[in-house]
Structure 1
Amino acid sequence: MKIISYNINGIRSASTKNLFGWLQATNADMVCFQELKAQPDQIPEIIALVENLGYHHYWYPAQKKGYSGVAILTKIKPIHVEYGCGEEWIDAEGRIIRADFEDFSLMSVYMPSGSSGEDRQQKKFEFLDFFQPYISNLKTQYPNLIVSGDYNICHTEIDIHNPKSNAKSSGFLPEERAWIDLFIKNGFIDTFRHFNKDPHHYTWWSFRFGARSKNLGWRIDYQMATKEMEDRLKNVRILPDAVHSDHCPVLLELK
């Protein structure tokens, strides 16, 4: 089984760059999208493409048009789909959707960025404070859980191209990195690092200064799986050649 997580930075823009031709070639069973920047009624042609590829599709856009939003596409019909998390401001921003299947659950999550200023950094911390106990409680009900998406946090120094100059940057703050430490300690596996301990693997690059061509990036997109799923992990790859966005996809293969 192949599961892709991809911050597409606007589904309408990404679709003009052959996103769905690429997706067809990957033959992924399930796809978690983040940062849709569109509502379903704005993209009927894209929904038709999704259906032609054989996917059931579930969208959770932000209330604000052109902003945020998450989705799950799946060739296996879920038993249940949970839209949002019950926290009003987070749900208004369209940041969490979960699909439950017979033997595991899959969440697409788009965590806030704090790079635009102190107010958004505080909202990011507010999200993190909420999300840790929320997930801890959720995995008692759904122990086989994959939390895929854009976490907007680099965990360790090998996950960012210049850790020293970014030591005080949002996304690499000590408090954020400690949050990932705790998340993993509370029963999750960073599936990419489970298979690959090497540096210089990134999932996001600035559009400025030719950062992508120089591989000056950040690894901020994850497929975290509960420890209960460890025996099912087969492989994880970052796919930097997919260039529909300033992010690239993370592909998780399950046994």
Structure 2
Amino acid sequence: MKFISWNVNGIRACVKKGFLDYFHEEEADFFCLQETKLQAGQIELDLKGYHQYWNYAEKKGYSGTAIFTKKEPLAVTYGLGEEIEDLEGRVITLEYEEFHLITMYTPNAKRDLTRLGYRMLWEEAARRYISQLEESKPVILCGDLNVAHQPNDVRNDRANIGNAGFTDQERGKFNRLLDAGYLDSFRYFYPDHDDAFTWWSYMAKVRERNIGWRIDYFIVSKQLEEKIKDAGIDSHIYGSDHCPVKLELEI
């Protein structure tokens, strides 16, 4: 099975920049999006053979997630259940016989860290939610998790210590999730790569010079370790300030 996750930074804009070409070329079994930035009825995508699930933010043109899947799920859940109120359309969970699939757009702590407190509440609620799902079957979590976990996940790590996405608090929560029984699928295959990024600033020449951050992930339950076949980053795909990330499982 092929899984793809992409923060499209506005699906309507991304469609104008080649999204559908990439979508049809890849023919993934699951295509997960973050930051769709639209409301119901603002776009119609003719994706033959796919079921579409959308979670919209109450605020117009903000946040939002979606999953397009070839296989109809047993159940669909929006948000983190009762763990924390989600008015920003940040989470969709699909349940299948073999696993739970979650697409997640984790809140940004903001440049001045004014939202770091909320981010910490979110992290705790998300970890509890994932742990509850894990009690019934393995979990695959993907999305823009807004954290660079290790120094080799950001180009200028020393200069960014303490900045949003690279604070001790955010990285510590990521550690707790992995310690609870999960694998960072990309690092599972490529532990030492120091030039593999998924997000770049729109500032001039930043992406061309590959001054980026790896903040988009596929996090996989250790129960599925033997089924993980590959993980990758399609950094050559434009259309957003993020690029798609991939996972292949033998299920």
Q: What is the TM-score with the length of structure 2 in the denominator?
A: 0.95
Alignment pair present for 1:221 and 2:203: no
Identical columns (%): 40
CA distance, structure 2, for counterparts of residue 18 and residue 75 of structure 1: 21
Q: Is the 8 A contact 2:130 2:139 kept in 1?
A: no
Q: Is the 8 A contact 2:111 2:163 kept in 1?
A: no
Structure 2 match to 1:23? 23
CA distance, structure 2, for counterparts of residue 159 and residue 118 of structure 1: 20
Deviation at 1:122, TM superposition (A): 2.1
Q: Name which of 174, 185, 192 aligns with 2:168.
A: 174
Q: Aligned in 2, Cα 1:194/1:177: closer, same or farther, shift over 3 Å?
A: same
Deviating runs (4+, > 4 A) in structure 1?
A: 87-90
For this pair of structures, how many residues does the alignment match?
A: 249
Q: Larger % of helix: which?
A: 1
Q: Tell me the secondary structure at the aligned position of residue 126 of structure 2.
A: helix
CA distance, structure 2, for counterparts of residue 86 and residue 92 of structure 1: 12
Deviation at 1:88, TM superposition (A): 8.1
CA distance, structure 2, for counterparts of residue 5 and residue 201 of structure 1: 16
Q: Is the 8 A contact 1:37 1:65 kept in 2?
A: yes
Q: Is the 8 A contact 1:155 1:180 kept in 2?
A: yes
Deviation at 1:90, TM superposition (A): 4.2
Q: Is the 8 A contact 1:90 1:127 kept in 2?
A: no
Structure 1 match to 2:79? 84
Q: What is the TM-score with the length of structure 1 in the denominator?
A: 0.94
Q: Which moved more, 1:58-67 or 1:118-127?
A: 118-127
Structure 2 match to 1:195? 189
Deviation at 1:89, TM superposition (A): 6.2
CA distance, structure 1, for counterparts of residue 110 and residue 211 of structure 2: 17
CA distance, structure 2, for counterparts of residue 88 and residue 10 of structure 1: 27
Q: Give 1:35's aligned amino acid.
A: E
Structure 2 match to 1:140? 135
Alignment pair present for 1:39 and 2:62: no
**Runs (5+) with no aligned partner, structure 2:** none
Q: Tell me the secondary structure at the aligned position of residue 158 of structure 1.
A: helix
CA distance, structure 2, for counterparts of residue 71 and residue 240 of structure 1: 21
Alignment pair present for 1:13 and 2:8: no
CA RMSD for the aligned pairs?
1.3
Q: Tell me the secondary structure at the aligned position of residue 93 of structure 1.
A: coil
Q: Is the 8 A contact 1:99 1:106 kept in 2?
A: yes
